[in-house]
Amino acid sequence: MSDHVYKIIEIVGTSTKSIEDAVNNALKKASKTVRGMSWLQIVETRGHIEKQKLTHWQVVVKVGFTLED
């Protein structure tokens, strides 16, 4: 394994279905403009409530990607 330098971005994904879907939605969107994503860290998990019911999961994700030469 060679040495790498990473940059970290923080994104928030949402889903009406699950926490996992919220993370995958965030990664799918980020992958359209960010190359070389290699790892993630879930920083925070929240939910949006309407009429006393959970309507959306919100997941804050830090994503690391390799800086290009």
pLDDT digits (tens, 9 = 90+) for 4-62: 789 999 999 999 999 999 999 999 999 999 999 999 999 999 999 999 999 999 999 99
- For the record, the structure tokens of 6 come out as 């990473």
- For the record, the structure tokens of 40 come out as 């993630």
Do 41 and 23 touch, CB atoms closer than 8 A?
no
pLDDT value of residue 55: 96
- For the record, the structure tokens of 36 come out as 């070389």
